[in-house]
Amino acid sequence: MNTKQTLKNVIRPIYEILRKVFPSLYYFIQYSRAASRMGNLAKERDELFNKLIAGSSKKKCLQIGVKEDIGAKFGSNWVSVDRFDMREFIDFHYDIHDLKFVDSEFDVVVCLSILEHIPYPETAIKELQRVLRPGGEIWVQLPFHFPYHEAPKDYWRASPDGLRIWMRDFKEILCGSFLCTRTSLLTSTFFYGTKPE
């Protein structure tokens, strides 16, 4: 018997005891392992996203949802849309499933932490694709390992592989997951791509 198999035989009963006696710790370990297997592209994500925002200053851009921690639009050239957010800087309260913009109106579309709250994310993504010009850039992000947060509903989580399915009509630049904080219990997934010409 090799060393690896011997370790598994020793550790497996310990995990079973841990699962029964300290289930929270057991599941924390399981979530940590799952997050580790998904990867942590936090650095790459931050660099790409900051580059996208910095390079958008002379473009017409659409921001779907404005996260509380951002608290503002990315710039004066950004049009903000949120159906339920009534803060003064939200330009339109459109339903993401039916945006009232013309085809190919925007050069950049960013949708942060919205798709988990809508009933038909693939319909919404088709609508984002419709309003994005050919060659335009799109960024979609949503929580993966994350607590339930109803606002007004909380429907979906998508792994990077699931997000790739939703975003299959776009050309991928990078798709992955990242830790939202220092704990693997809070992870998000993102897709950055372009609309084919």
Q: Give the number of other Cβ atoms within 10 Å of residue 143's Cβ.
A: 19
The tokens describing 61, both together, are 């851009």
Domain spans of the chain, in order of start: 1-38, 39-194
Q: Which of 140, 148, 129 is nearest to 196 (CA)?
A: 129
**Percent of the chain, pLDDT > 90?**
63
The tokens describing 128, both together, are 């984002």
pLDDT 10s digits, 121-158? 999 999 999 999 999 999 999 998 788 888 789 999 99
CATH number corresponding to 39-194: 3.40.50.150
Q: What is the model's pLDDT at position 185?
A: 66
pLDDT 10s digits, 17-35? 777 777 777 777 777 777 7
The tokens describing 41, both together, are 């592209």
